[in-house]
Amino acid sequence: MAKGTMIDTHSTFMGYLLWIFGFTGAHRFYYGKPISGTIYFFTLGLLFIGWIVDLFLIPSMVRNASLRFRPGRIDYSLAWILLTFLGLFGVHRMYMGKWITGILYMLTGGFFLIGYVYDFWTLNDQITVINAQES
């Protein structure tokens, strides 16, 4: 990789796909904004107004996420798809190589939903740590 070249760690397409459910904060969690994601979740995307504004902010969220998070073997978009749809079964953790907690999630419904919610807050950072260790 040439010096100064930025690799997108987070997909624009995925951001817009999650934006469809943006009133739940899904796209904000994906781009590493858990506080505003939680606020969107409890306010229906700030009464849908913030949700509409975010339609235009997604390109800047992609740039910011690509600067903040580290690319590597673990793909952020795939991990987020696995967390969103199969997170209670720990599939995203198994994908990241965290087999023990993945199996425990499978047996306990994502540690009784608490671990599932925790992963929504921290998945990007977990992936960044793994990707940094492997480079």
* pTM > 0.95: no
Could you tell me which residues come within 8 angstroms of residue 68 by beta carbon, excluding any fewer than 6 positions away?
A: 32, 124
pLDDT at 101 over 80: yes
Residue 96 DSSP code: T
* Residue 40, CA atoms < 13 Å, CB-side half-sphere: 26
Domain regions of the chain by residue span: 9-68, 72-135
pLDDT band at 43, cuts 50/70/90?
very high
Q: Of 34, 131, 114, whose CA–CA distance to 79 is shortest?
A: 131
What does the pLDDT read at residue 129? 97
Residue 101 · residue 94 · CB < 8 Å: no
- Tell me the two tokens of residue 36: 């505003």
pLDDT band at 54, cuts 50/70/90?
very high
